Structure 1
Amino acid sequence: MSLSTEQSQRDHIKELSRKHVFTSWSAQGALDQLPLAGGEGAHFWDHEGNRYLDLTSQLVNVNIGYQHPKLVAAIQEAAGQLVTIGPGFDSESRAEAARLVSERAPEGMNKVFFTNSGAEAVENAIRLARLHTGRHKLLAAYRSYHGATHGAISLTGEGRRLGSEPGLPGVVHFWGPYLYRSAFYASTEQEESERALEHLRQTLQFEGPDRVAAIILESVVGSNGILVPPAGYLEGVRALCDEHGIMLIADEVMAGFARTGQWFAIQHWDVRPDLITFAKGVNSGYVPLGGVVISDEISATFNERPYPGGLTYSGHALACASAAASINIMEEEGILEHVRQLDEQVLRPGLTALAEQHEVVGDVRGIGAFWAVELVADRETKEPLGAEAMGRIAAACKAEGVWPLIVANRVHVVPPCVITQDEARRALEVLGSALSSV
């Protein structure tokens, strides 16, 4: 196809999109989005032939990379069999996907309820927790994002929830650990962990722990800064939950399925939650799918008592076939081990070096293929770098064929988990040059 034809197709897509597509989180009249023509591995390209190394994984979900041939083939094969089966019938792909997910979860979590998205997974997790405990209150962190449906956006602590208020009754927010901008005046990770846990304990005391059904948290906070919990924190939250009969919900929608080098990020700390929500990386978004991994104790609550919830597409045959194939591919190709090596050999040392080289870098943090570079106008005051400068950094990266994920004053480095070490090194070189521009 000629360049002029490609440009015509690009313009046609943009025109149709602006005329008919209502886009999430956007002022519709201000949209000017790039139409994509294709992708492969850790790259995507537009209709003019511009090729970009992707540091976004779209919405931090294309863990297995674009157009993985084995996963595409598995979807094609499944589509040629029985493409959809309602939840009222048993399905081979649903059963197999549930087995593969539960076998990779912590011990004693053997049932999976499938949804169509991470937000729906959160909705059902809080329903399960409330029904199991007979309590109604839910605690969630301020620095969190749990989805955009009614319950999920109510649990969300960041500013995106404000436009949807009033929210779900019974939701209480608390401050989680974030040493770089500590709410607890901590100077070490140990202090941050201890003081954040004491704050959570006091919050529970004032809310009445016997009224709290669940504490939900992202095992590694994603959209709000990629905040890796300090040693002892998740263990401490688990202990608080055990003390008061509260369910612990681990939101692994963004952090799960190889993103941190484990099947589930919480496994880095050897903590067993009562419920795990997942989506995104389970099949890299090739077909919409999410779910809840349920502890044996909670699932037993519904052995004789019907669960009052369901979805037409719960465990959709095509989506589950893609998840089963994706998990098997990740295992066969050693993607979790690849992510761990990427962390140790490229991302951790490379991003640490950028912090040493550039005064504009205030903090670097992350794990696996899940990193954030926090940028500041002044290291002493930690004043966030402004939007204009962040825009210049993004433009400089794109000009060199690297597509960054800019979130507030941060660059999130979250490439497809299949990115090669050489590709990752090139991305960091381009990012370093872009940082020099400010």
Structure 2
Amino acid sequence: MRGAAAEIPGGATHGPPHHLALPEGRPMPPTAPTGAAPTGAALDDAVLEADHRHVLHSWSAQAHLPSFVVAGGAGSRVWDHAGTTWLDFSSQLVNTNIGHQHPAVVAAIKEQADLLTTVSPATANRTRGRAAERVLARAPEGFAKVFFTNGGADANENAVRMARLHTGRDKVISAYRSYHGNTGAAVVATGDWRRVPNEYARGHVHAFGPYLYRSEFWATTEAEECARALHHLERVVQCEGPTSVAAVLLETIPGTAGVLVPPPGYLAGVREICDRYGIVLILDEVMAGFGRTGSWFAFEAHDVVPDLITFAKGVNSGYVPAGGVLVSEAIAATFDERVFPGGLTYSGHPLAMAAIVAALDAMAAEGVVENAARVGRDVLGPGLAALADENPLVGEVRGTGVFWAVELVADQDTREPLDAASVARIKALCLERGVLPFVAENRVHVVPPCVVTDDEAREGLAVLAGVLRDVAA
């Protein structure tokens, strides 16, 4: 897996026995006669030129855009037009849980396109009903309906709307270390820097969640961090006025903020606080859900059941944009005779619903969630622990399933974050050596597809370890 001459392997080991047997060689554009349309590296250059000229990129200064083209993919690998291949340790934006180009999901989208490409959300549609059944089958007891959206941000928007209408209250408490999406209320519920230039929505309050490595509470143990974070949250509720708080909105495991797995008892404690004050608990499973943590939902490992669950990404691996809100029976009943004042033109879009049905069926049949749990337990967890022991740039590793973060520091004693230039070099070297990383602030997130094989996981870890050794030296 080095450079343009790399071959895509012809098989896979230890993973679910589906499409991971990739084609020999790589898909390449057909040879063109002289003077015809460009191919190979020239086509990559043309794609970049057109992209940079015409596309306004998200979260970017437009004079400093990436020079990276993806032309195709299969399983856990992607490649450009020139044939350079990368092991996708990013799952794009932590969403291709079932891997790239799963044949069953692609076939379902094509079949649905032949039958019906679009339909009004006010119309009953068989594929939408089947998708709702599949999603509800993975929810805890007591969930009644699914409100489909186009993605995770509008899922959180509508969950907040439901909580406000159900309780008759206005305020929403979320965490500073969080990301909930880029629409009006979702970006204001977000805790990171992206909130600040976008604060147009009302009624949002933030609190600090648990993060022992950089504790806000002077904690030295997980138990202390948990107790003090819960005390802090309850004091925020009390100071804001409990009867004014509609919802607590939390990512079950904050993802973009650093894969911050909550300590034992924290989410159960949040549930108790919400029950005490009549507050709706919304758990954002957009990034953590549908196999990413080695279970269908991340909250399953934390002895908690929320009132509303938001999801997107892994529900169909983003093959067609889709998200939604799982709605508990009590909140669903609020809108039996009362109009729910929310809707989207493409809510429950047939192509997206077909992708959901096929993806969830394939994940169940092929043991994809179990594969994610095992690879995390047997390969990624031990491998990253060894990396933390040997490399002075690693401050902490944390995660579960195929959802991990490596926090990089300039000094392990002071925990000073590694500088941006060094992190950029780490990213560049990973790409150069055949691994597509997910990099955020001073972290490398290790988030391959849930279908990643043992050998692929070891390959990615070996590249990351080598890069960090070189940068440390």
Q: Structure 1 residue 8: deviation in Å? A: 2.4
Q: Is 1:317 matched with 2:347? A: no
Alignment partners' CA distance in 2, 1:46 and 1:227: 33
Task: Classify the secondary structure of the residue corresponding to 2:128.
Answer: helix
Q: 1:433 is matched with which residue: 434, 442, 466?
A: 466
CA-to-partner distance for each residue in 1:119-165, whole Å, 9 max, x for gaps?
A: 01011000000000000010000000000001000100101111212
Aligned AA (1:164) = N
CA-to-partner distance for each residue in 1:286-343, whole Å, 9 max, x for gaps?
A: 0000100000000000111111111111111111111011000000000111011101
Matched residue, 1:112: 146
Q: 1:362 is matched with which residue: 395, 398, 401?
A: 395
Task: Classify the secondary structure of the residue corresponding to 1:87.
Answer: coil
Q: 1:280 is matched with which residue: 292, 304, 313?
A: 313
Alignment of 1:362-381 (within 5 A): 362-381=395-414
Alignment partners' CA distance in 1, 2:358 and 2:115: 15
Alignment partners' CA distance in 2, 1:14 and 1:427: 26
Q: Structure 1 residue 2: deviation in Å? A: 5.0
Aligned AA (1:291) = G
| RMSD after superposition | 1.0
Matched residue, 1:31: 65
Asked whether the equivalents of residues 91 and 447 of structure 2 are also in contact (C-alpha less than 8 Å), the reply is yes
Q: 1:10 is matched with which residue: 44, 65, 88?
A: 44
Moved over 3 A (4+): 1-4
Q: Is 1:206 matched with 2:225? A: no
Asked whether the equivalents of residues 109 and 355 of structure 2 are also in contact (C-alpha less than 8 Å), the reply is yes
CA-to-partner distance for each residue in 1:219-243, whole Å, 9 max, x for gaps?
A: 0000000000000000000000001
Q: Is 1:408 matched with 2:435? A: no
Alignment partners' CA distance in 2, 1:169 and 1:400: 46
Matched residue, 1:341: 374
Aligned AA (1:137) = K
Q: 1:103 is matched with which residue: 137, 140, 164?
A: 137
Alignment partners' CA distance in 1, 2:408 and 2:66: 26
Q: 1:173 is matched with which residue: 206, 209, 212?
A: 206
Alignment partners' CA distance in 2, 1:14 and 1:376: 33
Aligned residues: 437
Q: Is 1:90 matched with 2:124? A: yes
Q: Structure 1 residue 395: deviation in Å? A: 2.1
Alignment partners' CA distance in 2, 1:2 and 1:163: 48
Matched residue, 1:196: 229
Alignment partners' CA distance in 1, 2:45 and 2:437: 24
TM-score (norm 1): 0.98
Asked whether the equivalents of residues 54 and 404 of structure 1 are also in contact (C-alpha less than 8 Å), the reply is yes
Q: Structure 1 residue 365: deviation in Å? A: 0.2
Alignment partners' CA distance in 1, 2:49 and 2:411: 42
Q: 2:385 is matched with which residue: 352, 360, 364?
A: 352
Alignment partners' CA distance in 2, 1:395 and 1:19: 23
Matched residue, 1:154: 188
Alignment partners' CA distance in 2, 1:339 and 1:235: 24
Alignment partners' CA distance in 1, 2:465 and 2:53: 39
Asked whether the equivalents of residues 393 and 437 of structure 1 are also in contact (C-alpha less than 8 Å), the reply is no
Task: Classify the secondary structure of the residue corresponding to 2:205.
Answer: strand
TM-score (norm 2): 0.91
Asked whether the equivalents of residues 313 and 322 of structure 2 are also in contact (C-alpha less than 8 Å), the reply is yes
Q: 1:328 is matched with which residue: 348, 351, 361?
A: 361
Alignment partners' CA distance in 2, 1:88 and 1:391: 48
Task: Classify the secondary structure of the residue corresponding to 1:310.
Answer: coil
CA-to-partner distance for each residue in 1:182-210, whole Å, 9 max, x for gaps?
A: 00010110100000000001111100011
Aligned AA (1:294) = V
Matched residue, 1:270: 303
Matched residue, 1:383: 416
Matched residue, 1:419: 452
Aligned AA (1:200) = L
Alignment partners' CA distance in 1, 2:300 and 2:60: 35
Task: Classify the secondary structure of the residue corresponding to 2:231.
Answer: helix
Task: Classify the secondary structure of the residue corresponding to 2:253.
Answer: coil
Asked whether the equivalents of residues 103 and 110 of structure 1 are also in contact (C-alpha less than 8 Å), the reply is no
Aligned AA (1:358) = N
Alignment partners' CA distance in 2, 1:223 and 1:347: 19
In structure 2, relative to structure 1, the CA distance for the partners of 1:174 and 1:16 (3 Å cut) is same
Task: Classify the secondary structure of the residue corresponding to 1:110.
Answer: strand
Q: Structure 1: any 5+ residue segments left out of the alignment?
A: none
Aligned AA (2:67) = Q
Task: Classify the secondary structure of the residue corresponding to 1:436.
Answer: helix
Q: Is 1:122 matched with 2:156? A: yes
Alignment partners' CA distance in 1, 2:136 and 2:129: 11
Aligned AA (1:34) = F
Matched residue, 1:250: 283
Percent of aligned pairs with the same residue? 56
Q: 2:114 is matched with which residue: 60, 73, 80?
A: 80
Q: Structure 1 residue 396: deviation in Å? A: 2.0
Q: Structure 2: any 5+ residue segments left out of the alignment?
A: 1-29, 33-37
Q: Structure 1 residue 21: deviation in Å? A: 1.1
Matched residue, 2:20: none
CA-to-partner distance for each residue in 1:249-273, whole Å, 9 max, x for gaps?
A: 0000000000001111111113110
